[in-house]
Structure formats: C-alpha cells, structure tokens
C-alpha cells in the first residue's frame, strides 16, 4: 500500500515540483497544502503516514507545525524539507522530534528522489520503532514479574545479607540463613569452585557470571543466572561480594525477541551509523556532536560517576588509535545507550560496551532530553555490569510510621588511622537495613529513619565489633574507635 504523505509548502512552484517528481514510483500518494493552517485542517480529517514541511512559511514556520504535530500526533514521521540551512534551525528541528532534516537542492530529480527514500525509510522506521517499544515493554514485564535473588557474602561464601527470594530456595526466613554458607547444601567441590570464582575477582575485573540449576522445595527447577560483583578495600583486596540471581529462562526468550526487533529498527534508521564509513554522512548523531559545546573530558569511571551525580542528558564520545569510535548516550545521568564502531562493523547496546576500558577518555556533549531519548532507541543497554561504579544507595524505610529521616556518617578509626575496607552492617529490630564498605577515609554514610540501631563491623575473619547508635536529627556523625 502506498505511503500517504502530507506535503506543506507556501510556494506554488515547490508544490508543483513535488506533484511532478515525488511519488512517480507509485510508492507514495501526495496531499499538498500551502500553509500550516491548511495542514492542521487536513490532519483533522485524514490520517497520514508521514508529513513533509517547508521551514519558512507565512502563517507559521515548520518548527511550529512540528510542535503541533508532536503534541497531537506524536508518532507520525515528520521531515523538514527546506532551503534554510542554519544550525540553530537544524538543532531546533531535532530537539522537537523531527525524523529528518533535508536541504533543498537545485536538481529536482535528485532532491525529490532523496526525499522519497527518506519518507519510505521514516515510515518503515516508525513501524519498527513501534514494534521495538512493544518488545521492550514485554521484556521489562518479564523482568518485573520475576523476583530477583540478592545475597551478600564474605570471600569464604558466608552470608551476611539475603532477601526473601533466597530464603524461598530453602523455605526458610532469609534472616535464618545469615552466617551460613551461600548454597550451604552443595558439594565441597562445587563450593570450592564458587569460592575460587569470588576470590578471582579483581578491581580490574570485578564482575563474574555463572549459571546454575536450582530446585525449590516444591520440586520446581529453574535455571538461575548469577551475577557476582566484588567489593574491594582501598588496597584492592576483595572484602565481600554482591550476588544477584535471576531466572534465565523467560528473560532469555524475551531478550531474543527484543534483540531481533532492535536489529530491525537499526536497519531502517540513519539516526545511528551502520558502518564506520557511514559516520561521516549527514546523520543527526554526527551533526549534534559537531555543533554542541562539550561539557568536559573524563575517564570512563569518572564519566559514569559525574553524569550520575548531575543527572544530565547527552552523548559521550571517544576514539582510539586503532580506528574505533564509541558512544554512550545518557538519560538523566544513566548510560542507557551505546554504539561501538570499528572497521569490522558496528555493535549496539550491551555488546557495544564490552570493549570499553577504564583508561579511555570520553568527551561529553549535553543535549536536550528528546534528542538523547531518540538516540537510545535501538541501542539500549540492558546489562550495565561493565559500567558499574561504586555508589551509595539510600536505605529503604523499615517502618510504616514515618518519623523522620537522617543521614549518618559512621567514622571508623583504628590506632589513630582511618579503618578502610571494613564492611558495616546496620540492624534494626533484628532486621538488616543497610550494608556497605568504609571508604579510604574510614567513613560510610547511611540514610535511616529516626530510631535506635546496631552496627556490626565485619572483617575477613567474621564479626569484629558491634556498636549502637541513635538517629534523631537530619545530619550526624558517629565515631567508633577500634583500637
């Protein structure tokens, strides 16, 4: 079925050229109007597959029409087709959701042939994007109904924290499993393999994955994919590990379907390059970088930490002597999209970050949220284990009665020096409400409800010291001398 196009231009010669040259292949049907007002009236009475508009018109310009379309007909592809080539117009068009920006040329055969290709591409890309959005929703729905298993262990696999999902493996309250070994009922050989996996983690390679089959008390078997992330002292010694488990079966099926939709979307859009040679073409990603003032340069770990802290939107770019180029797209401070290009081809999403190294320097270009969101589509990162940096997470509420919340800094000192790399577990009413490792300055911060708490300090041997404290104001420091 031909693609129905609404063509808007207030100059009659351009409308006549469009009617003569556009759609001669039979792939497009054309409705021409000569003003923004006429375009709005046409949209009210008929559904169009795409809109092509001039920029400079008497009653409203193309950007104003674009804003109206995005507010009322969000998904329909919109192409700005104009002789005006100012950078601020291009940036404004992309900021407001234009699919393409095409400059008019002198040869009508060439320019309308290119325009037709972009219309067809935008139409196909629109449907691929809708399918991708549906697949993403399915994927996240699968993950949402699954309950993740969380376990924190010492290097010898002694459990210091576990959630109810881990307890469900043994039909036992999770708190009763603290102090036992992770998978305490497995063979000595299997446990030794697990210990070797944890102890093999380093600050350069802090994450490992493994898959096991577990049997629940009701006899149900499940393939669990475990992600093990090491926590290290300032000297680089592993002091504990965070273990996260997820049922790999349904998630993998949804993931395969999602990747198929992403590949289909990538084939229909020029928003992201398909090859290293394509990057020098007039694609929006290249244009944005060339016409945006950079915010600064950071090594990869510093970049992740800085953007997370400032919750910014934008594109981070790096290049190497080997001829590769890599991009991370940030949404509200989180690296949500990735592209890696070398002479062998292009990697998107999860695969794009496998070759990134902490020593690489990225330049960050801030953008409007709409632009960043646009580039993430089709190259979304789901597994961020290669981009993890240490962060401090607020402790969840442990009471239904909200009295007040305070930030407490626990300061550990031993023999007059900061006690770095020690794990501190916070308990309230017998429940664990917080876990973290002291910084090189011997400090750790928790966000807690007002009340009385017990702190337990754990080293490689086991429980080293316990102490009590009270949170009764917004900001306070509690010092503990371990000498």
**Domain residue ranges of the chain, discontinuous segments joined by +:** 3-123, 146-251, 273-387, 405-481
Is there a contact between 212 and 227 (Cβ–Cβ < 8 Å)? no
Residue 22 has pLDDT above 50, yes or no: yes
Q: Which of 342, 338, 423 is nearest to 387 (CA)?
A: 338
Within 41-165, strands assigned E span 50-53, 78-82, 100-103, 149-153, 159-162
User: Which pLDDT score is estimated for 233?
Assistant: 84
Q: Which of 125, 28, 24, 31 is nearest to 76 (CA)?
A: 125
pTM of the model: 0.46
CATH superfamily of 405-481: Immunoglobulins (2.60.40.10)
3-123 under CATH 3.90.1150.10, yes or no? no
199-218 pLDDT, tens digit per residue, is 888 888 888 887 777 777 77
Q: Which fold has domain 146-251?
A: Beta-Lactamase (3.30.450)
Is there a contact between 301 and 313 (Cβ–Cβ < 8 Å)? no
Residue 439 has pLDDT above 80, yes or no: yes
211-242 pLDDT, tens digit per residue, is 777 777 777 777 787 889 888 887 888 888 99
Beta bridge partners, 327, equal 317, 339
Fold agreement (146-251, 405-481): no
User: Which pLDDT score is estimated for 394?
Assistant: 37
How far are the Cα atoms of 34, 46, 308 from residue 43, in angstroms, in the given order?
Answer: 14, 5, 41
Query: What is the chain's mean pLDDT, rounded?
Result: 80
Q: Using the Cα atoms of residue 113, residue 114, residue 115 and residue 118 in order, give the sign of their dihedral.
A: positive
297-354 pLDDT, tens digit per residue, is 999 989 998 898 888 999 999 988 677 889 999 999 999 999 888 777 778 888 788 8
């Amino acid at each position: 079925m031909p693609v129905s196009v609404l063509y808007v231009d207030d100059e009659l010669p351009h409308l006549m050229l469009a009617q003569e040259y556009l759609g001669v292949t039979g792939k497009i049907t054309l409705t021409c109007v000569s003003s923004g007002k006429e375009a709005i009236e046409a949209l009210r009475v008929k559904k169009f597959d795409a809109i092509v508009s001039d920029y400079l018109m008497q009653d409203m310009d193309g950007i104003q029409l674009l804003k109206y379309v995005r507010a009322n007909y969000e998904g329909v592809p919109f192409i700005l087709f104009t002789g005006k080539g100012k950078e601020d117009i291009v940036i404004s068009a992309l900021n407001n959701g234009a699919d393409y920006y095409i400059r008019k040329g002198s040869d009508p055969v060439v320019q309308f042939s290119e325009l037709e290709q972009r219309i067809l591409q935008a139409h196909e890309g629109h449907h691929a994007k809708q399918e991708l959005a549906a697949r993403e929703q399915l994927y996240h729905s699968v993950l949402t109904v699954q309950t993740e298993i969380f376990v924190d262990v010492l290097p010898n696999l002694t459990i210091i924290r576990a959630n109810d999902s881990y307890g469900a493996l043994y039909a036992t309250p999770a708190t009763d499993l603290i102090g036992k070994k992770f998978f305490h009922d497995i063979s000595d050989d299997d446990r030794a393999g697990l210990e070797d996996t944890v102890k093999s983690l380093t600050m350069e390679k802090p994450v490992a994955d493994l898959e096991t089959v577990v049997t629940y008390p009701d006899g149900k078997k499940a393939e669990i994919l475990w992600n093990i992330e090491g926590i290290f002292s300032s000297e680089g010694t592993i002091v504990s590990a965070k273990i996260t488990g997820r049922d790999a079966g349904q998630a993998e099926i949804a993931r395969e379907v999602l990747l198929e939709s992403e590949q289909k979307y990538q084939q229909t859009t020029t928003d992201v390059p398909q090859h290293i040679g394509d990057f020098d073409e007039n694609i929006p990603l290249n244009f944005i970088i060339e016409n945006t003032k950079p915010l600064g340069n950071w090594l990869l770990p510093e970049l992740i930490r800085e953007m997370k802290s400032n919750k910014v939107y934008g594109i981070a770019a790096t290049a190497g002597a080997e001829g590769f180029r890599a991009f991370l797209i940030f949404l509200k401070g989180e690296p949500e999209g990735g592209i890696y290009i070398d002479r062998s081809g292009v990697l998107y999403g999860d695969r794009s970050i496998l070759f990134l190294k902490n020593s690489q320097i990225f330049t960050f270009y801030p953008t409007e949220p709409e632009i960043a969101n646009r580039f993430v589509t089709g190259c979304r990162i789901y597994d961020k284990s290669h981009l993890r940096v240490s962060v401090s997470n607020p402790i969840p509420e442990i009471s239904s009665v909200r009295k007040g919340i305070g930030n407490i800094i626990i300061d550990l000192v031993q023999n007059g020096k900061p006690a770095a790399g020690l794990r501190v577990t916070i308990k309230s009413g017998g429940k664990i409400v917080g876990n973290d490792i002291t910084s090189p300055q011997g400090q750790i911060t928790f966000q807690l409800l007002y009340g009385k708490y017990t702190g337990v300090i754990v080293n490689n041997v086991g429980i080293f010291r316990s102490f009590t404290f009270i949170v009764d104001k917004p900001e306070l420091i509690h010092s503990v001398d371990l000498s």
